Amino acid sequence: MEVGQMQRRLAEFTKSMFMEGFLDGQFLQLQQLQDESNPDFVVEVVSLFFQDSEKLLNDLTLALDQQNVDFKRVDAHVHQLKGSSSSIGAQRVKNACVVFRNFCEEQNLEGCMGCLQQVKQEFYLVKNKFDTLFTLEQQIVAAGGSIPAMEITSF
Amino acid sequence: MHLRAVLIKQMEATRQAESKSMSKSNAFAQASHDVRASLAGIIGLIDISYEEVSPGSELEKNLKQMESCAKDLLGFLNRILDTSKVEAGKMLLEEEEFDLAQLLQDVVDLYHPVAMRKGVDVVLDPTDGTVLRYSLVKGDRGKLKQILSNLLSNAVKFTDGGHISVRAWVKKPSLEDSILASPRSSGWERLMCLVCEKKDEDSGDEVANEFQRSPNSAEFVFEVDDTGKGIPKEKRKSVFENYIQVKETAQGQEGTGLGLGIVQSLVRLMGGDITIRDKDMGERGTCFRFNVFLAPCDAGATKLLEEDLEAGGYGAACRLGLTTRSPKSEGSHVVLLIQNEERRRTCRSYLEKLGIEVLVASQWQDLPMILKKVQMKVVNVAYHSSSGKSEMSWRIERLSKSASCKKAPGRVRGVPLRSLDGADQSLPVYRSPSPKDQAAFVLLIIDASAGPFQQIFMAVTEFRKLIPSARCKVVWLDKPTMRSIDLRAIKGKLDPDDIIMSKPFHGTRLLRVIRLLPEFGGSLQKRPSEQVKARPVQNAEAAKPLAEETGNTSREKPLSGKRVLVVDDSEIMRKLALRNLSNLGATVQLCENGKEAVQLIRDGIDELRERGVSDICRPYEYILMDCQMPAMDGFEATRKIRKEERRYGIHTPIIALTAHSSGAEVKKIFEAGMDFHVEKPANGVRLMKAISEIQSRGGGV
């Protein structure tokens, strides 16, 4: 596939991520922070997010598995996850966290378990999407092309 | 009796025909009303959209073209309805001054993107440059644009690969040169010849049109030449008839079949005619040629004297061209690496007509070899072999960046050096150059998508090392959207004086590049090389302020010289804060929780005391404090920090980073002693807003 085609695919794919709600405007902010002196900024931050989140999700699973669930602790974890997902623009993950926190406040175990599933699902969905995105980018760069800048329109 | 029946039948037929015509007119009127309404809507919406668009952006350019198209559509609509008027001989020609070269470029650029999507390049061929010289003309711009658009639109429709060339030139009026009209109207042709010869006579003009040929008008010839399906010879006449279409169109091709008929009418209205030219053997496609008469303006002549290209001084470049190279200075060399064959050909031909030496690489793999050739020609080192032979063996020993080379006389194609009388040296001889004695200038025009960019870039970089930097310039041709130039990949090492120019490369852009050459006014001064951190490349098309792309509201660094402490347990947040604040110019210190923050403040104060600073100032100008953290949260950290500060009478503005700004939360923030809060995620804009707010309150300087 030639570079132009790949670039178009990338643009379409990125756009779809926005359209489907996986990403919001914050991701654009992230992209804007990337430049020649920080050429891999987005990949770095997103990778960081994946690492952090996997750990958090493990911690959450453990925390909810206890005999006596410490909802404050659970809430603290979710709060963190909400923060980091919001900071990279992972909208659906963030939204799932919001719901999760409500259940934490109510100390509703069943609700929390359900939310955990939801958050995990959203997380893995967006992770897959990002994997595809970054792979596309790598292919373009490997073929000698460049990553086209996103047109900033309203979403 | 029989005759009467025939008459009645005939009258009936006439009545029917008239009635049909009436209903057609009515239908037209209604349709046109509807179309006009929709178009007005579109134009209005585009107008509104301008307000939301950043000036100079691609989006604004696209909007402008959309507006232009919509207005053209309105024009076309009117024209369609006027077709009958034309045929009845009642259409009027408008007259206005316009820039013909600019019009050609606009139309070509308009169709370029859509053609490129089909893999067809649309090239504006300057031919002999006469249109550039006489580009200011008086005539009916709208109709000419419609003719060109129509022809181009057809060409794009029926071409699936290769190129479409648009050419124009000015003809010297002579009887023999008048274009043969199609056989259909030989009477017209004869009349045209008469008019040609006797310029002032138009009284015998039988043809019902309003074309008044002024004695000042010149004949402009245009060609739209494509490599498409072609039109079979037998169909060539009929395509100009209304509603006729060549049936073997590509799938899904639509059309009213009106295009060429109108084109012909309009061309004739402007005093010319249109034909389909025969192509050479083996060449496919169609070439339409038409001529019209336009009056070149005198203003054009004055414009030619202006140096400023922007003011439409299009033809200036021609005037400035050196036709003979002065023996004292070596002429410039231009290296072309352009993918499209036709574009390559037309560029080269035009440059050579201007007396510039051109070397062409037809494919990117040839580039290193071509560059080597140029290098040999440009860098002259006198090498005198011990045997005193005048035969030259080009061994370039040491190449200094300064232009301290001895120049060999004459054009360089492996021309032998000037041997030093009697001298028997084996070392190269250098002599500092006098102004008359300068090494040649090299301009590289490189299509950035002609091959893998990194390799091309490497070849160019290697070449540049061997040429004095003031004597070499590179123009990169790139698509404005989908850039091939990956600044990331080359780590921003583009030379500050390099230019990235948007495709398509022709018209004003071509001339702008020519002007870079010393013979045409190009300056040889290099900009002082700066550390290439920020975007170093001069985008010749639209200077998009860097601000737009990084999200800063201005290019200045508002936090330059300020130290900011960031306290956040999330690595992601720290990373983001670091980038945002660095972009704003701040020096950033990161830490993970409140405990560390308090310690840093204490350490900062201690350091100042140890240095013997009498008036202890705050160690950081601003602190960004996350509220929720392990070990010690933001509130407690703030309280502790305030305690420390009170001892020295200092107060550091602390900005709370909070996930929610509920009333209770905000109260907590202020009670703890923080000054401001910003909702997470904190981006550059939000941070600056907070800081400005603090500054305006007088809380920080």
* ipTM value for the complex: 0.85
pLDDT given at position B434: 40
* CA terminus-to-terminus distance, chain B: 111
The continuous run of DSSP H or E covering B31 comes out as helix B2-50
Mutating which of B453, B494, B576 best tests the A interface, going by the most A Cβ atoms within 10 A?
Answer: B576
Cα B71 to Cα B97: distance, rounded to the nearest angstrom: 19
The single-letter code of the amino acid at B113 is P
Chain A residues near residue B572 by CB distance under 8 angstroms: 45, 48-49, 52, 84, 87-88
Q: For residue B630, give both structure tokens.
A: 């392990």
Calculate helix-pair angle for B141-158, B259-269, nearest 10 degrees. Answer: 150
* Shortest Cα distance, chain B CAs vs residue A52, angstroms: 9
* CA terminus-to-terminus distance, chain A: 30
Q: Residue B576 is nearest to which of A37, A45, A52, comparing CB atoms?
A: A45
Give the 3-state secondary structure of residue B168. Answer: strand
CB contacts < 8 A (A, B): 108
Tell whether A25 is within 8 A of chain B (Cβ): no
Chain B residues near residue A37 by CB distance under 8 angstroms: 492, 533
Cα B680 to Cα B460: distance, rounded to the nearest angstrom: 46
Q: For residue B696, give both structure tokens.
A: 């305006």
DSSP assignment of B565-631 equals EEE-S-HHHHHHHHHHHHHTT-EEEEESSHHHHHHHHHHHHHHHHHTT-SS---S-SEEEEESS-SS
Residue count of chain A, please give it: 155
Calculate helix-pair angle for B571-583, A71-88, nearest 10 degrees. Answer: 30
Provide the chain A residues 75-94 that lie in CB contact (below 8 A) with chain B: 76, 79-80, 82-84, 86-88
Chain B interface residues (partner A, CB cutoff 8 A): 58-59, 449, 451-455, 481-489, 491-492, 532-535, 549-551, 569-573, 575-576, 579-580, 583, 628, 659, 680-681, 683-684
B230: left (phi over 0), alpha (psi -120 to 50) or beta: left
Chain A residues near residue B533 by CB distance under 8 angstroms: 36-37
Once rounded to an integer, what is the mean pLDDT over residues A119-142? Answer: 92
The continuous run of DSSP H or E covering B277 comes out as strand B274-277
In the 8-state DSSP scheme, what is residue B200? T
Chain A residues near residue B569 by CB distance under 8 angstroms: 80
Q: Kindly report the CA angle at B326 between B322 and B429, in degrees rounded to 5?
A: 135
**Contact (CB<8Å) A52/B571:** yes
CB atoms within 10 A of CB B595: 18
Cα B496 to Cα B526: distance, rounded to the nearest angstrom: 9
Calculate helix-pair angle for A109-142, A41-64, nearest 10 degrees. Answer: 160
Chain B residues near residue A46 by CB distance under 8 angstroms: none
What pLDDT, in 10s, does the model give residues A38-70?
Answer: 888 999 999 999 999 999 999 999 999 988 999
B166: left (phi over 0), alpha (psi -120 to 50) or beta: beta
**Contact (CB<8Å) B571/A48:** yes
Q: Residue B572 is nearest to which of A3, A29, A49, comparing CB atoms?
A: A49
Class of CATH domain A3-31+42-135? mainly alpha
Nearest to B239 by CA among B220, B215, B268, B261: B261
B110 touches B310 (CB < 8 A): no
Tell whether A146 is within 8 A of chain B (Cβ): yes
**Contact (CB<8Å) A8/B482:** yes
Q: For residue B683, give both structure tokens.
A: 């981006």
**Contact (CB<8Å) B570/A80:** yes
In the 8-state DSSP scheme, what is residue A35? B
Edge to edge, the sheet with strand B499-502 lists B357-361, B333-337, B442-447, B472-478, B499-502, B538-539
Q: How many CA atoms lie within 13 A of B202 on its CB side?
A: 12
* Shortest Cα distance, chain A CAs vs residue B659, angstroms: 7
Phi, psi of A109, rounded to the nearest 5 degrees: -65, -45
Q: For residue A134, give both structure tokens.
A: 């970054």
Mean pLDDT of each 10-residue bin along chain B, 701 residues long: 87 83 69 79 86 82 88 76 55 82 89 87 88 85 88 89 92 51 43 44 37 72 91 82 53 51 85 89 89 77 36 37 38 86 89 86 88 77 33 31 36 36 36 46 87 85 80 82 64 71 84 82 57 37 35 60 90 89 89 92 87 79 89 90 88 87 82 87 82 73 44
What pLDDT, in 10s, does the model give residues A70-115?
Answer: 999 999 899 889 989 999 999 999 999 999 999 999 999 999 999 9
* Shortest Cα distance, chain B CAs vs residue A119, angstroms: 19
Mutating which of B579, B657, B660, B662 best tests the A interface, going by the most A Cβ atoms within 10 A?
Answer: B579
Tell whether A142 is within 8 A of chain B (Cβ): no
B60: Cβ–Cβ under 8 A, 6 or more apart, which residues?
B50, B53, B54
* Shortest Cα distance, chain A CAs vs residue B634, angstroms: 15
Nearest to B59 by CA among B547, B42, B51: B51
Q: Residue A52 is nearest to which of B449, B550, B572, comparing CB atoms?
A: B572
Chain A residues near residue B453 by CB distance under 8 angstroms: 144-146
pLDDT given at position B85: 54
**Contact (CB<8Å) B570/A149:** no
Cα B294 to Cα B491: distance, rounded to the nearest angstrom: 52
Nearest CA in chain B to A84: B572
**Contact (CB<8Å) A144/B486:** yes
pLDDT given at position B636: 92
Cα B43 to Cα B29: distance, rounded to the nearest angstrom: 21
Structural domain spans, chain A: 3-31+42-135
pLDDT given at position B214: 64
Cα B269 to Cα B493: distance, rounded to the nearest angstrom: 56
